[in-house]
Amino acid sequence: MFDINLIRKNPELVRENLKRRQEPKYLELLDRAIELDRKWREIKTKANELRAKRNKLSQEIAKLKKQGMPTETLMEEARKVAQEIEKLEDEERKVEEELKTVLMKIPNMLHESVPYGKDENDNVVVKVVGKPPKFNFQPKSHIEILTNLGLLDLERGSKVAGSRFYYLKHELALLDLALQRFAIDELRKKGYILVEPPFMLNKRAYMGAVDFEFFQDQIYKIENEDLYMIATAEHPIAAMFMDEVLNAEDLPLKFVGVSPCFRKEVGAHGKYTKGLFRVHHFNKIEQFIFCKPEESWDLHEELQRNSEELYKKLGLHFRVVNVCTGDIGEFAAKKYDIEVWMADGKYREAGSNSNCTDYQARRLNIRYREKPGMPPKGFVHTLNNTALATSRTMIAIVEQYQQEDGTVKIPRVLWKYMNGIKKLEPRK
């Protein structure tokens, strides 16, 4: 949620920042917010005056009653004031709600280092790690390789649940688990707190964690319950401290979350959707940090280093892009994507590292205090970054480590999590 105080204090600064997103509707929303805020304060002032009047009358009545004096006239007057208040309160509520909705739709302030651009084609490659593997044969897609090996069954996944569902079998299922354990162990070594969150959230928590569009297009709802399946561990971890005030001495709070992720993927038309790349359900290890405002930019880089280290240890070739102003999304002030190399020569997103500054925390009402016993100082900053999404990491491993005979070598760091298995081989 956007900070109304920033709009009041410096609307032009906000306007210039929003312009960078090249989306005229945001500027309209800003104007709307300014207008609604003006109206809201006007009504609020009037209503407060009336409430003061009512309170005075009430106290007057109480005093008279104590003295055994008649109060009918005053009570009649108070009744009238109460009616007026009710009318104004309806109005106040309406304006306040609309203002809040508008503030929810205005995206976060972008960091100055975010490159200017229109869409994903304008993302700036800031780093390339490793080199594309060289094959002296025609490399295959993970779908072909894994289906041939008898480790992946997409057809039966479709039969029982629909397209973009799948069965992982034998060593491939083991590989999924191995990747999870690998990422968890690496992050735990760095002091990240392992957490397995609820896999469902109620609406209030969910709307705090994501924007409306994401909610609409991605989130599965449980019928007849106020419950929604999580699309990533980021969301339940973010919501964990909803309406709380954290102690600065406990910050930064660093989490490594483990969970399945469920996504409707409505509106994925035109995007790359093959095989395991864009599925309705996958497992992911997620990094999440709550911190003080002044430390979030350093921690954003730390999260980035963590992820890069994981891919490096897996021996994967990837690149890092600084996501441009037109592609970044509403919550993040800055975002890096890690894109892995795939067998068709393209780089595709495997993970995403966002500093949401105070935007998500304001929606979820997560504040911090300098010391126990002190009043709240302000909102925390929240950051989230993929550690490993197993499905996409498996694609990278399979396509980059494939052998001419159709088998797949398994990265050395995973052997111990694979019971010593070093290769994916044909299974029946």
Partner RNA sequence: GCUGGGGUGGCCGAACCUGGUAAAGGCGCCAGCCUGCUAAGCUGGUGGGGCUCUGCCCCGUGCGGGUUCAAAUCCCGCCCCCAGCGCCA
Tell me which residues are annotated as active site.
263, 278, 349, 352, 392
Using rule CB under 7 A, residue 49 touches RNA:
yes
Q: Does 134 engage in binding with RNA (CB under 7 A)? A: no
**Amino acid symbol at 302:** E
- 194 touches RNA by CB under 7 A: no
The shares of helix, strand and coil residues in the chain, as percent rounded to the nearest 5, are 45, 20, 35
C-alpha closest to that of 293 among 367, 215, 395: 367
When the beta carbons of 82 and 413 are compared against RNA, the nearer one is 82
Q: Is 273 in the site for RNA (CB under 7 A)?
A: no
Where does this chain touch RNA (CB under 7 A) — which range of 12-20, 51-59, 127-135, 141-149? Answer: 51-59
d(CA 285, CA 69): 72
DSSP letters, 264-277, are --TT-TTS---TTS
Helix (H) or strand (E) holding 349: strand 347-355
Binding flag, residue 78, RNA (CB under 7 A) = yes
Q: For RNA, which is the closer residue by CB, 93 or 159? A: 93
Between 16 and 49, CB nearer to RNA:
49
Residue 262, C-beta contacts closer than 8 angstroms, at least 6 positions apart: 199, 219, 220, 229, 230, 231, 280, 281
Q: Considering only CA atoms, which of 151, 173, 152, 178 is closest in space to residue 415?
A: 178
Rule CB under 7 A: is residue 319 a binding residue for RNA? no
Report, in Å, the least distance between residue 108 CB and RNA. Answer: 19
> For RNA, which stretch binds (CB under 7 A), given 59-67, 311-319, 395-403, 408-416?
59-67
SS3 of 87, please? helix
Q: Output the smallest distance, CB 47 to RNA, in A.
A: 7
Q: Should residue 248 be labelled a site residue for RNA when binding is judged by CB under 7 A?
A: no
Please report the sign of the dihedral spanned by the C-alpha atoms of residue 290, residue 292, residue 297, residue 303. negative
CB of 53 to RNA, least distance (A): 8
3-state secondary structure of 328: coil
161 belongs to the binding site for RNA (CB under 7 A): no
Residues of this chain that bind RNA (CB under 7 A): 41, 44-45, 47-49, 51-52, 54-59, 61-62, 65, 75, 78-79, 82, 245, 369, 371-376
